[in-house]
């Protein structure tokens, strides 16, 4: 009877689910699969990075040639290896950097969405703003890691060009830079990167988020529609949004990237250690303002395809995910309720919690269920448990409905809060969406689901019932006590266990340990296998 909530059918998704929702991902799987796909993408695009870098740095012929011509020139003179200078360092060195960048990205985006949820602004603007700020913060956090990596990789890419120092390996680059300038040499261009790349990242993510929502709505999709986009449509729209973001970002950021690249790899212009000002003046002298757009084509290609691998990785994993389930950390929901504004973590504190959804207010089965929860509230309180109801109706509706609930169970007050989720965001976060039922407008409705949450904020058990079947509150109390006993003692509860009956001792506990842990003793059942694993005790 206890089932994990099921995911919505893979063939179609709610429009709001087309946004990247990092907190639902298995991060280990994401980073493992992402490492493979990112490395494959890097292998495909690395030659464009080499072409761009050499075009930006070379003050003679290459800077005035088309990107395709530079590609063939490098291939002819240096072979395939010339197009992959610095690839190993970049591919291996980027792995921990991506973990750092994506982790900071998801955290900061969640915070921004939370703090903008009550602002009066179009949804596309809100999502674009959250993506933009998250991109900026993520870039600042990862900058300290990536700048030295860029210095090493780009110096390997430009070997043999005028003004550069010859190095035969990544370690040789580090050694020569440290010898010449000390540790600060590895952070050439850090200030320029920190000041400019964060807005560039914010621009990319902001345009990406806004463009995606605009495209969906131009295609006629809405959250309230029966028709939902397929996975193929979703990936196509996301890729298109990425192209738009790359185009906007590369036009604005290429001049800064050109200066930064030259600053990081050219050791002198005959006038001492390079600086942003010296580098800009030298570039102006060589090519005029057009010189700041050296390597624009290859850079545009790189930035346009920047998010493709991440999106594909997300889709590969999320399409196989069951949603919030046992062992997952429940998100810190912020919502209006019949008890005012609630932060889930603050409300729960160090207590156990039960959050239960219902299809709708003023419905017969739901009224009896919430009435019984009210009647048993004292029993839950004795066990250190806090209750929370949830549906997509608003607070005013909940408040009026409570009168009916209390009338059903005369003398029993509804003392627990009921959360309002009119935008249907919480039920999606908690995997409480009914896969079959829809409201009259075609929108998602909550399933008859229930999560038991431990003091560590992890889901310990989930129930999912069809709309026609009310939950058994006595069963909820039974499994709750079972979970609490298992958490406190190294025991489990056998078939048809009831509070007060014997538990079984965990196989991980030896007989010697059991004698100390269970001073009242235990009984070992004799089995044909002669193995002493079925041990019963009172706790």
The CATH number of whichever domain residue 23 belongs to comes to 1.50.40.10
For residues 110 and 337, which has the higher predicted lDDT (pLDDT)?
A: 337
The single residue of 143, 366, 392, 503 carrying the catalytic annotation is 366
The torsion region of residue 69 among left (phi > 0), alpha (psi -120 to 50) and beta comes to: alpha
In a domain, 481, yes or no: no
Locate tokens 């993408």: which residue?
Answer: 41
User: The domain spanning residue 497 has which CATH number?
Assistant: 3.30.1020.10
Helices and strands counted in the chain (H then E): 18, 13
Q: Mean pLDDT, to the nearest integer, of 193-212?
A: 76
Main-chain dihedrals φ then ψ at residue 486, nearest 5 degrees:
-65, -35
| 98-102, 450-454, 499-503: least confidently modelled range | 98-102
Residues 6+ apart with CB under 8 A from 20: 310, 311, 314
- Whether the CB-CB separation of 470 and 452 falls below 8 Å is answered with no
Q: Which of 162, 169, 176, 178 is nearest to 262 (CA)?
A: 162
CA 429/CA 162 separation, integer angstroms:
56
Q: What separation in angstroms does the CA of 191 have from each of 135, 147, 194, 264, 411?
A: 18, 10, 5, 12, 67
Pair (38, 155) in one structural domain:
yes
* Domain tally, the chain: 3
Task: Tell me the three state secondary structure of residue 143.
Answer: helix
pTM of the full structure: 0.54
Residues 6+ apart with CB under 8 A from 57: 158, 161, 163, 164, 261, 262, 265, 266
Pair (109, 154) in one structural domain:
yes
Q: What separation in angstroms does the CA of 372 have from each of 92, 404, 499?
A: 57, 13, 19
| pLDDT one-digit tens code per residue, 53-107 | 777 776 556 666 777 787 888 888 888 888 888 888 877 777 777 777 777 877 8
In a domain, 1, yes or no: no
Pair (141, 71) in one structural domain:
yes
DSSP type of residue 456? T
CA 405/CA 205 separation, integer angstroms:
46
Q: Mean pLDDT, to the nearest integer, of 343-361?
A: 94
Last residue of a domain, one of 317, 336, 359: 317
Locate tokens 């570039």: which residue?
Answer: 283
CA 216, 220, 223, 227 dihedral sign is negative
- Whether the CB-CB separation of 56 and 256 falls below 8 Å is answered with no
Could you tell me the residue range of the domain that residue 394 belongs to?
328-473
Q: What separation in angstroms does the CA of 199 have from each of 112, 196, 323, 390?
A: 16, 6, 33, 39
CA 181/CA 188 separation, integer angstroms:
10
pLDDT band at 128 (very low <50, low <70, confident <90, very high): confident
CA 423/CA 336 separation, integer angstroms:
12
CA 340/CA 419 separation, integer angstroms:
9
User: The domain spanning residue 365 has which CATH number?
Assistant: 3.40.30.10
Pair (313, 332) in one structural domain:
no
CA 508/CA 495 separation, integer angstroms:
20
CA 64/CA 336 separation, integer angstroms:
61
| pLDDT one-digit tens code per residue, 130-178 | 877 887 787 777 787 888 888 888 888 877 777 677 888 888 988 888 8
Pair (290, 348) in one structural domain:
no
Alpha-carbon Rg for the chain, nearest whole angstrom, is 30
Q: Residue 204's pLDDT is what?
A: 78
pLDDT band at 13 (very low <50, low <70, confident <90, very high): very low
In a domain, 482, yes or no: no
Q: Residue 63's pLDDT is what?
A: 60
Pair (199, 229) in one structural domain:
yes
Last residue of a domain, one of 291, 317, 343: 317
Q: Residue 22's pLDDT is what?
A: 53
Q: Dump the DSSP string for 275-336.
A: -HHHHHHHHHHHHGGGGGGTTHHHHHHHHHTTTHHHHHHHHHHHTT---S-TTPBPP--EE-
Residues 6+ apart with CB under 8 A from 90: 42, 46, 49, 149, 153
Pair (70, 146) in one structural domain:
yes
CA 520/CA 536 separation, integer angstroms:
11
Q: Please give, one letter per residue, the 3-state secondary structure of 162-175.
A: CCCCCCCCHHHHHH
Pair (468, 501) in one structural domain:
no
Q: What is the mean pLDDT of the chain?
A: 80
Confidence check: pLDDT of 186 > 50: yes
Last residue of a domain, one of 448, 473, 498: 473
Q: Which of 427, 433, 450 is nearest to 373 (CA)?
A: 450
Pair (311, 336) in one structural domain:
no
Quick check: is 366 catalytic?
yes
Segments of 328-412 assigned E as strands? 334-335, 342-343, 352-357, 385-391
Pair (467, 514) in one structural domain:
no
Pairing of strands 352-357, 385-391: parallel
CA 311, 314, 320, 323 dihedral sign is negative
Q: How many residues does the chain have?
A: 539
Q: Residue 4's pLDDT is what?
A: 28
Q: Residue 313's pLDDT is what?
A: 62
In a domain, 8, yes or no: no
Pair of tokens at residue 396: 């005013």
Q: Which of 63, 26, 49 is nearest to 285 (CA)?
A: 63
Confidence check: pLDDT of 303 > 80: no
Confidence check: pLDDT of 307 > 90: no
Q: 56: exposed, middle or buried (C-beta count within 10 Å: 0-12, 13-18, 19+)?
A: buried
Q: 64: exposed, middle or buried (C-beta count within 10 Å: 0-12, 13-18, 19+)?
A: middle
Residues 6+ apart with CB under 8 A from 315: 231, 234, 235
Q: Mean pLDDT, to the nearest integer, of 424-448?
A: 77
């Amino acid at each position: 009877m206890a089932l994990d909530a099921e995911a919505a059918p893979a063939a179609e998704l709610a429009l709001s689910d087309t946004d990247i929702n990092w907190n639902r991902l298995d991060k280990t799987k994401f980073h493992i699969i992402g490492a493979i796909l990112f490395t494959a993408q890097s292998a495909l695009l690395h030659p464009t990075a080499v072409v761009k870098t050499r075009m930006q740095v070379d003050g003679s012929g290459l800077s005035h040639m088309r990107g395709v011509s530079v590609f063939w020139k490098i291939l002819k003179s240096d072979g395939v290896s010339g197009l992959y200078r610095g690839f190993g360092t970049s591919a291996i060195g980027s792995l921990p950097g991506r973990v750092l960048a994506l982790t900071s990205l998801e955290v900061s985006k969640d915070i921004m969405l939370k703090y903008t949820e009550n602002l009066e602004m179009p949804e596309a603007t809100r999502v674009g703003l959250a993506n933009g700020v998250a991109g900026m913060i993520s870039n600042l956090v990862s900058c300290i890691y990536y700048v030295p990596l860029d210095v090493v990789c780009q110096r390997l890419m430009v070997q043999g060009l005028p003004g550069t120092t010859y190095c035969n390996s990544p370690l040789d680059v580090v050694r020569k830079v440290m010898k010449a300038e000390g540790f600060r040499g590895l952070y050439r261009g850090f200030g320029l990167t920190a000041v400019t790349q964060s807005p560039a990242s914010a621009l990319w993510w902001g345009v990406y988020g806004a463009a995606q929502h605009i495209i969906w709505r131009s295609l006629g999709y809405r959250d309230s529609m029966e028709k939902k986009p397929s996975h193929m449509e979703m990936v196509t729209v996301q890729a298109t949004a990425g192209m738009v973001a790359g185009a906007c970002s590369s036009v604005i950021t290429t001049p800064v990237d050109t200066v930064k690249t030259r600053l990081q790899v050219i050791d002198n212009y005959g006038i001492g250690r390079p600086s942003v000002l010296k580098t800009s003046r030298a570039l102006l002298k060589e090519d005029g303002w057009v010189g700041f757009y050296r390597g624009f084509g290859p850079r545009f290609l790189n930035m346009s395809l920047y998010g493709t691998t991440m999106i594909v990785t997300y889709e590969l994993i999320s399409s196989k995910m069951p949603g919030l389930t046992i062992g997952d950390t429940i998100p810190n929901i912020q919502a209006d309720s019949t008890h005012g504004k609630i932060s889930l973590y603050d409300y729960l504190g160090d207590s156990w919690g039960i959050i239960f959804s219902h299809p709708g207010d003023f419905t017969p089965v739901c009224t009896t269920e919430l009435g019984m929860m009210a009647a048993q509230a004292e029993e839950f309180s004795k066990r250190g448990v806090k209750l929370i109801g949830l549906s997509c109706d608003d607070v005013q509706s909940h408040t009026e409905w409570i009168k009916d609930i209390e009338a059903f169970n005369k003398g029993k007050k509804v003392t627990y809060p009921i959360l309002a989720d009119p935008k249907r965001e919480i039920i999606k976060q908690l995997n409480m969406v009914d896969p079959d039922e829809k409201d009259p407008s075609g929108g998602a409705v909550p399933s008859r689901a229930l999560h038991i949450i431990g003091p560590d904020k992890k889901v310990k058990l989930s129930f999912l019932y069809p709309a026609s079947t009310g939950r058994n509150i006595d069963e909820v109390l039974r499994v709750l006590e079972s979970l609490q006993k298992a958490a406190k003692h190294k025991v489990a509860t056998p078939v048809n266990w009831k509070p007060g009956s014997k538990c079984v001792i965990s196989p991980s506990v030896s007989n010697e340990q059991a004698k100390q842990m269970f001073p009242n003793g235990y009984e070992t059942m004799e089995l044909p296998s002669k193995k002493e694993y079925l041990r019963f005790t009172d706790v």
